[in-house]
Amino acid sequence: MDKQEPPNAVPMSERKRIALVAHDHRKADLLGWARYNRDELSNHELFGTGTTGAMIASDLDLDVERFKSGPLGGDQQIGARISEGGIDLVIFFWDPMQPQPHDVDVKALLRIATVYNIPMATNRSSADFMISSPLMTQRYERTLVDYSQRIRG
């Protein structure tokens, strides 16, 4: 008998759709991490905001679908893609010590990733754990919390 998916299951294929984002003071860190993990990243579909996406595409010779830079709406574009089911996980090297002109957008991205149960790495250690997980190369079903009962209006 086939295993049935729970009603709130969202399947992820073996080839993950990964968003790569970094604040200015963390771009070099993300690029170094991506260089180290280039072979694994090449097996997945990559997305990036502005300069970060361009740096990864150019330096690693990988295809990266690029959104606008974060302050110009890139974080919101990633959030929209998450809500449409088009992003499976996010690697976001953010700078907790530097105020950003678009802090509200960053917070919204963190919130939408949580609402849609998207794995998110915010530093090298969590990104290392995520990319080395056996779940990166196999199907996975993430489940969604039904927040509709909590929403008014």
The predicted-structure confidence for 33-49, as pLDDT tens digits, reads as follows 999 999 999 999 999 99
Note the maximum CA span of the chain. Answer: 53
> Which domains does the chain possess?
16-133 (3.40.50.1380)
Kindly state the average pLDDT of the residues 73-86.
93
Cβ-contact 38, 61 below 8 angstroms: no
The confidence score (pLDDT) of residue 134 equals: 96
The confidence score (pLDDT) of residue 1 equals: 43
Residue 117 vs residue 100, higher pLDDT: 117
Distance of CA 76 to the CA centre of its chain: 12
pLDDT digits 0-9 by tens, 48-61: 999 999 999 999 99
As a whole number of angstroms, the distance between CA 1 and CA 128 comes to 36
Q: pLDDT band at 148, cuts 50/70/90? A: confident
Nearest-5° Cα angle at 140, 61 to 149: 115
Residue of 39, 75, 105, 128 with catalytic role = 75
Is there a catalytic annotation at residue 75? Answer: yes
